[in-house]
Chains A and B, each alone.
Chain A
């Protein structure tokens, strides 16, 4: 009977780490956590930033979902007609695994949608949100 405890513990640990299982993504999360001076990110905060209509950016694209769509396990579409791969990590395991790419798109898209750059805290929240889906 005693053997059940280590198994349960292992199972619990693996569930907890599954969403951020990719070490490359974990490194990016850690990078933003360090930059923001926080230990934890809020998936709720990420959802709110991503799905709320913003003021300050381009009127045509004043919300992230304008191009990414509202179903994050499905593809989105740019204004020029190109397919955008799903944002949810469960549907697109390559999401948030390349810091250069992640930085490039936050730089461009935060400017386009919000008219400003996103903070490290906001970026971490967004990654937490899509890792939870």
Chain B
């Protein structure tokens, strides 16, 4: 019905200039703003996720959260917005999609002023996949980095395994975006209309043979129900999460005796950076400690040894604790010579370690501002720049 009205009102303009049909509003302001904002967040999230250095993790997290927020708003708008923004306008069944495909192949497919069945399916797939990437991202953030709303309930192992799914979904999203762009290019060529431009100014040509699209009534009850239940779910998650500590994260400050005695000569490495067997051997051999006599009185040695035993890598669930737990205790105690350390620091140039504020590889605190807490969150890395002489 709406299309009829539009076609009628546009009739005089068409007759006055046949080569320039009237362009009517199709994509409302919200849909356009949503589309390009989502595109921007996904570009930044993908770029930071695949290529950025570890300290940039917070950018990745925030654009990912923004993308999820945009998708949620779009879902609600899908029940409230004008006709072509509505799910009921473009969400169809498999039969319609295949019928449209075979019509394209036969060269006689209809032109849809909103999304065609294939385009509609793509919109739903993209929205669903972005939600999946975001949710798996929150699980990884909670389990591996012990941060975000699920940190209180997610083990490292869960986070580390879900990381693979997060990455697979992300690759699938890139593939889907490529198909989406290819679809836009193809449909623009097929219907002789720049569809990307339509997503900028919101208008598309009104043509007499367009697929008949009925006026879609808004469903405010559904929209409110979705918004309300999401709000309730997120609110209670935030409430539960804020009252609980991240799972398996050390909370106590370094033992003062340990920090003083060991910190006199070197960085007082957090106890979670070595397994019990390594600490045990180290504290038993302080008179030959990496070539130096670092002996302590028996009481002090005993006190430090029992502190290290109680707080070693086996006792916590942080990422460093999980990896340093696995090192061969008989092979090497040198934390900076372990496979995990060399792997995670492979992109740091040697010159960085020579900087005045760093000095040696074992000076964790120089860059990891949360080293003393045993956290080692990537976003807490702050590599000191070299002071100009």
Q: Which residues of A contact B (CB under 8 A)?
A: 58, 60-61, 77-82, 104, 107-109, 111-112
Contacts and interface: CB of A to CB of B under 8 A. Distances in A.
B312 to A, nearest CB: 20
Nearest to B358: A81
B292 interface: yes
Nearest to A60: B291
Interface in B43-100: none
A29 to B, nearest CB: 23
A80 B267 contact: yes
12 contacts: A60-B291, A61-B291, A78-B264, A78-B265, A79-B292, A80-B267, A82-B263, A82-B265, A82-B266, A104-B296, A108-B293, A112-B291
B295 A112 contact: no
Majority-rule SS of B interface residues: loop
B123 interface: no
Given A78-B266, A80-B266, A82-B265, A112 B292 contact: yes
Interface in B280-320: 287, 291-297
B241 interface: no
Contacts of B358: 81
Interface stretch (B28-36, B110-118, B215-223, B359-367): B359-367
Given A61-B292, A80-B362, 12 more contacts: A78-B264, A79-B292, A79-B360, A80-B266, A80-B267, A81-B266, A82-B265, A107-B295, A108-B292, A108-B294, A111-B287, A112-B291
Contacts of A58: 291-292
A117 B157 CA distance: 50
A108 B266 contact: no
A58 B293 CA distance: 10
Contacts of A109: 293
B246 to A, nearest CB: 30
Interface string B347-363: 00000000000111011
